[in-house]
């Protein structure tokens, strides 16, 4: 299927932009998942200081499965916080993504607007809130993670029970504190319509809850964590400058 450009009133209202570009048929060389490569730990990264890998994808996008497979392959690594966000704007192709949310589409548009990009697209991988790649090429993804390294430059974060503590940092830039809850299990979805009709697509680290906990202004701050919307979810926190800016602190719980 050729690349598409879509203009709808809903996306204009959401993004403040008129152009929405996205999914197309991946070339045959990209459609097959790349052979697994040895997984080398990202230098300096750990569960408390991971590299943040955000995938924006849709079950209705024929170009997404290779990128989805690559992110699935790194989902369990302790040095990586891999998050899969299902967007809404390909639902009109005949299949409504079973995990999508307007919040996730808005997050992708925040990144686009911050970077001055007039479009959003799937698949798209964003590392630490900054560098962007398609995600279909495993070697490119590994290289991008190694280059990005762990999220850095922000305050220390820790969780005790249902309380998140964000440490002081003199001169720290005002930032949004995000709570993310995601499912580490593989969720397999049988697609019954649209571009991926007839395929069963596995998903890992699907984001279920994305909660804006409030603003951090450089001083010691505490935030109360709401209960998860469903059992079995893992928790992560992000400290992010502005709307769609760099992620300076991240931790998996």
Please indicate whether residue 214 or residue 26 has the higher confidence score (pLDDT).
214
Residue 34 located in a structural domain: no
Residue 78 located in a structural domain: yes
Residue 198 located in a structural domain: yes
Question: What pairing do the DSSP bridges indicate for beta strands 51-57 and 80-86?
Answer: parallel
- Domain total of the chain: 1
Residue 147 located in a structural domain: yes
Residue 16 above 90 pLDDT?
no
List the end-to-end C-alpha distance of the chain, in Å, as a whole number: 41
- Tens of pLDDT, residue by residue over 204-245, are 999 999 999 999 999 999 999 999 999 999 999 999 999 899
- C-alpha distances in angstroms, 71 versus 43, 118, 139? 19, 25, 12
Residue 241 located in a structural domain: yes
Q: How confident is the model at residue 38 (pLDDT cuts 50, 70, 90)?
A: low
Residue 36 located in a structural domain: no
pTM (2 d.p.): 0.87
Residue 204 located in a structural domain: yes
Residue 235 located in a structural domain: yes
| 155 in Cβ contact with 216 (< 8 Å) | yes
Residue 51 φ then ψ, to 5°: -80, 130
Domain that holds residue 87: 5-25+44-252
- Tens of pLDDT, residue by residue over 91-128, are 999 999 999 999 999 999 999 999 999 999 999 999 99
| 132 in Cβ contact with 124 (< 8 Å) | yes
Q: Which residue has the tokens 């890992």?
A: 204
């Amino acid at each position: 299927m050729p690349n598409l450009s879509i203009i709808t009133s809903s996306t204009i209202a959401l993004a403040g932009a008129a152009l929405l570009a996205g999914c197309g048929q991946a070339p045959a060389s990209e459609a097959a998942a790349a052979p697994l490569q040895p997984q080398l730990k990202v230098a300096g990264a750990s569960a408390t200081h991971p590299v943040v890998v955000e995938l924006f994808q849709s079950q209705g996008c024929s170009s997404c499965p290779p990128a989805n497979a690559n992110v699935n392959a790194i989902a369990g690594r302790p040095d990586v916080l891999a998050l899969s966000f299902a967007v809404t704007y390909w639902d009109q192709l005949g299949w409504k993504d079973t995990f999508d949310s307007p919040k996730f589409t808005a997050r992708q548009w925040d990144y686009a607007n911050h970077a001055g990009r007039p479009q959003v697209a799937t698949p798209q991988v964003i590392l630490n809130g900054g560098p962007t790649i398609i995600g279909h090429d495993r070697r490119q993804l590994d290289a991008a993670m190694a280059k990005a390294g762990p999220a850095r430059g922000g305050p220390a974060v820790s969780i005790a029970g249902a309380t998140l503590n964000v440490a002081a940092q003199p001169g720290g830039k005002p930032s949004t504190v995000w709570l993310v809850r995601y499912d580490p299990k593989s969720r397999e979805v049988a697609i019954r319509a649209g571009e991926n009709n007839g395929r069963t697509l596995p998903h890992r680290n699907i984001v279920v809850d994305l909660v804006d906990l409030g603003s951090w202004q450089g001083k010691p701050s505490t935030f109360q964590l709401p209960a998860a919307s469903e059992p079995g979810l893992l928790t992560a926190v992000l400290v992010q400058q502005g709307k769609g800016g760099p992620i300076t602190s991240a931790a998996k719980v």
